[in-house]
Amino acid sequence: MHSFKRREFLKTAGAATTATLLGPKLHALSALQSEAQRPVSANDHIQIALIGAGGPGQGDTRTAIQVPGVKLVAVADCYDGRLAHSKELWGDDISATRDYAEILVRKDIDAVIIGTPDHWHKQASVDAMKAGKDVYCEKPMIHLYSDGPAMIDAAHATKRFLQVGSQRVSSLIYAKAKELLTAGAIGQLNMVTARWDRNSSMGAWNYTVPPDASPETCDWPRFLGAAPKIPFNAEQFFQ
């Protein structure tokens, strides 16, 4: 291509990247602000339910209900403490249950957020789509490779929306990096180095075990599902 000097290339690429990345974000922010100010019609209301109310599920729900017209109406979780906390967060009028099947039979629920442990992702997603609900499923999409076709087939058969929450797959930054690479902007790719650091495992996988954790407050058989049957283990349940 052209033989740019390094400084010229970085200046040009930096300006182009900033405009490409920041432009859509500012446009999206402006659109979201305009959307928030626009009156919401009855047809725009979407009622959602949360299945699996741990940290990721709660975070996804907090974001979802910021969208005008979206309302959380039900929560399912295998730990009583999370069900109680969900009512503290989002109101006593939401229904709370250990059994997500009670949520899926409701005709007033349009979509579900699935924040369960990984080994429940496939079954909860398939059940929800077969019940006529659109699905946002936390990453990873599947626990076993063989689970993938069942989820994809269910989405095609039911014609429901299925979105997997792998945010970096849909990031504008990574899309732009791919565009620059394809255009030859950085020349021949020889190596990629990636790093994701955590200074502490707390909150990553070593979550705090609540003091009331017990077979009475935790639905251990439902939590295990199709997993190997083992005695109650609070660390495995919460971490």
Query: Domain for residue 126, yes or no?
Result: yes
Residue that wins the pLDDT comparison between 26 and 177: 177
Q: pTM for this structure?
A: 0.76
Q: Does 23 score more than 60 pLDDT?
A: no
pLDDT tens digits, 41-94: 667 799 999 999 999 999 999 999 999 999 999 999 999 999 999 999 999 999
Report the pLDDT value the prediction gives residue 16, as an integer from 0 to 100. Answer: 45
> CB of 69 within 8 A of CB of 40?
yes
Query: Domain for residue 3, yes or no?
Result: no
Domain that holds residue 77: 43-168
Q: Does 206 score more than 70 pLDDT?
A: yes
Smallest CA-to-CA distance from 76 within 223, 213, 231 is with: 223
> CB of 110 within 8 A of CB of 97?
no
Q: Average pLDDT in the 111-130 region?
A: 97
List the CATH number of the domain containing 97. 3.40.50.720
Query: Domain for residue 216, yes or no?
Result: no
Report the pLDDT value the prediction gives residue 225, as an integer from 0 to 100. Answer: 96
| Burial environment of residue 185 by CB neighbours within 10 A (0 to 12, 13 to 18, 19 or more) | middle
Query: Domain for residue 158, yes or no?
Result: yes
> CB of 48 within 8 A of CB of 112?
yes
> CB of 103 within 8 A of CB of 96?
no
Residue that wins the pLDDT comparison between 34 and 29: 34
Structure tokens at 165: 């929450």
Upper half-sphere CA count for residue 82 (Cβ side, 13 Å) = 25
DSSP 50-90: EE--SHHHHHHHHHHTTSTTEEEEEEE-SBHHHHHHHHHHH
Query: Domain for residue 11, yes or no?
Result: no
Task: Please count the other Cβ atoms lying within 10 Å of the Cβ belonging to residue 45.
Answer: 12
Is residue 152 very low, low, confident or very high in pLDDT (cuts 50, 70, 90)? Answer: very high
CA-CA-CA-CA torsion for 144, 51, 65, 44, nearest 10 degrees? 90
Report the pLDDT value the prediction gives residue 200, as an integer from 0 to 100. Answer: 80
Backbone φ and ψ for 206, nearest 5 degrees, come out as: -90, 70
Query: Domain for residue 146, yes or no?
Result: yes
> CB of 40 within 8 A of CB of 71?
no
141-155, 202-216, 220-234, range with the lowest pLDDT: 202-216
- CA distances (Å), origin 54, targets 19, 50, 58, 225: 37, 10, 6, 17
Percent of the chain with pLDDT over 70: 81
How many domains are there within the chain? Answer: 1
Q: Does 22 score more than 60 pLDDT?
A: no
